[in-house]
Amino acid sequence: MKGLMMNQYYSVEKSIWVYAALSLVVPVLLLVFFERGMFDRFAAFIPIAFMVSPALEVLKHEAKSGWSKYVATLPVSRPRVVQSHYLFFILLMVVGIVFAVVTYLIATQFFNQAPTDFYMVGMLNIIGIVFTSGIISYPLTYLFGAEKSDMIMLVGLGGAIGIYFLSSMVFFRFIDDGSIYLGLNASLLFALLFLLVTFVLFVISYIVSLIIYKRKEF
């Protein structure tokens, strides 16, 4: 498992460090120099979205190098291969969340900024969107092959954004945006529910990917 994850890390090492630098700088600039509100939400989006990108980029590198087929000949169980991809995805997401918290602290402690609730809502929403992109991308990659990873990544990203906006539209059609429910405003309640649902679906996605990859013939 460790070897598989290290292989993934080294295949996208450069991208990870570039995105890490951008994840720490761009959100702080947005929080310091732009009006609060939507920019707070965008600032929260960036670290998590950027840091997870290399996890999906790994699929493209594996397809180009032929690793996706070669790994099937190694003395590594197929469940381990699938687990390593999902764990690498989660690991980079956690790093993105840490960066989002760090940029929040930098903005508040060093620049006396006070991000609005949009920042927390933005973090929760982007985690849900990122989970959704993984839910779509991984099973499709194992089903159709890493060679189609470019198209699958676009489908995953576009699908995740579309599902988010569709879910939001349906939710706020029945729930008043300005109301308070269970002590939470409607935006925060939606973000928590969206995150919970997508997390459960992400776990189901892992099980589906495992079944597909076990049955796959190379």
What token pair was written down for 161? 């954004």
In order of 36, 136, 189, the CA distances from 130 in angstroms are 24, 10, 18
Residue 44 confidence (pLDDT): 80
Taking alpha carbons only, the member of 123, 117, 128 closest to residue 164 is 128
Please say whether the dihedral angle defined by the alpha carbons of residues 161, 122, 16 and 28, taken in this order, is positive or negative: positive
In degrees and rounded to multiples of 5, residue 114 shows phi and psi of: -130, 85
Cα–Cα distance, 160 to 141 (Å, whole number): 16
C-alpha to C-alpha distances, 132 to 155, 162, 198, nearest whole angstrom:
11, 10, 6
CB-CB neighbours of 102 under 10 Å: 15
- What does the pLDDT read at residue 12? 81
How many whole angstroms separate alpha carbon 138 and alpha carbon 74?
Answer: 21
Using DSSP's 3-state secondary structure scheme, residue 102 falls into helix
CB atoms within 10 A of CB 122: 25
Give the pLDDT confidence score for residue 94 in this predicted structure.
Answer: 93
pTM for the complete prediction? 0.82
What pLDDT is stored for residue 132 in this prediction?
Answer: 92
- pLDDT at residue 17 in the model: 92
One pLDDT digit (tens) per residue for the chain, 218 residues: 777 778 788 878 888 899 999 888 888 888 877 766 677 777 788 888 888 888 878 877 777 776 766 766 777 777 888 888 899 999 999 999 999 888 888 878 777 776 667 778 888 888 999 899 889 988 888 888 777 777 888 888 888 889 999 998 888 888 776 676 667 788 888 889 999 999 999 999 999 988 888 777 66
Residue position matching structure tokens 């190098």: 65
pLDDT at residue number 37: 66
Q: Are 213 and 142 in contact (CB under 8 A)?
A: yes
Q: Which residues sit opposite 181 in a β-bridge? A: 184
User: Phi/psi of residue 181, each to 5°?
Assistant: -130, 125
Q: Where does the chain show beta strands of DSSP type E?
A: 180-181, 184-185
Question: What confidence score (pLDDT) does residue 57 get?
Answer: 80
